[in-house]
Amino acid sequence: MIRAVLDTNVLVSALLFSGEMGHLVSSWKARKFLPVFSHDTFAEFRRVLAYPKFSLTPREIDALFQDEVLPFCEVVDVEDEITGLCRDHADDKFLCCAVAAKADYIVSGDKDLLVLGNFRNIPIITVAAFQEKMRK
């Protein structure tokens, strides 16, 4: 099965908005790929969902995790911290997660990640490119 690290913006868009990224939820539920998280990426995802602009209650956030995410993902332990590689150092956690998870892809819309192209032979691709890879 394809193992993919999805950045926080991709995850939030997939879960909260229909459209181009909404297909990701149905794809991971159909076991077409396995979303992988580290404790750091998971914590960021949870923190971002609590932003006031999303108007989600703690109960709604918990329900999203329990129903839409946790049954379909894997959380990995990161042993090697990688720092200073991304222009935005806050994005380094996605690289660490991908290495620890032995991910096939990092899926992002973040230019600070996409500009790298790949990291340790793990391609960093857009949602559209990932969707194309899953069709093959």
Residue position matching structure tokens 């806050």: 90
**Residue 41 to residues 5, 8, 17, 18, Cα–Cα distance (Å):** 9, 7, 20, 22
Kindly state the tokens that stand for 75.
């959380």
Identify the CATH number of the domain in which residue 81 sits: 3.40.50.1010
What pLDDT is stored for residue 79 in this prediction? Answer: 87
Return the bridge partners of 19, or none.
none
- Best CA proximity match to 113, nearest among 99, 132, 94, 127: 94
* pLDDT confidence of residue 83: 78
Structure confidence by residue, pLDDT tens digits, 5-36: 999 999 999 999 877 788 899 999 999 999 99
**Phi and psi of 15, rounded to 5°?**
-80, -35
* Per-residue confidence (pLDDT) for residue 16, from 0 to 100: 94
Q: What is the pLDDT of residue 9?
A: 95
Confidence grade of residue 121 (pLDDT, cut at 50, 70, 90): very high
Q: Which residues are CB-contacts of 132 (< 8 A; sequence separation ≥ 6)?
A: none
pLDDT in tens, 43-87: 999 999 999 999 999 999 999 999 999 999 999 999 877 777 788
- Considering its fold, how many domains does the chain have in total? 1
What distance in Å separates the CA atoms of residue 133 and residue 107, rounded to the nearest whole number? 11
Rounded-to-integer distance, Cα 62 and Cα 127, Å: 25
Looking at residues 37-43, what average pLDDT do you find?
Answer: 96
Q: What are phi and psi of 17, to 5 degrees?
A: -130, 140
Least confident range of 22-31, 83-92, 127-136 = 83-92
pLDDT of residue 58: 96
Cβ(136)–Cβ(36) below 8 Å? no
pLDDT score for 43: 96
Query: Containing domain of residue 9, as a range?
Result: 2-135
Q: Supply the pLDDT for residue 21.
A: 82
Q: Give the per-residue pLDDT at 131.
A: 93
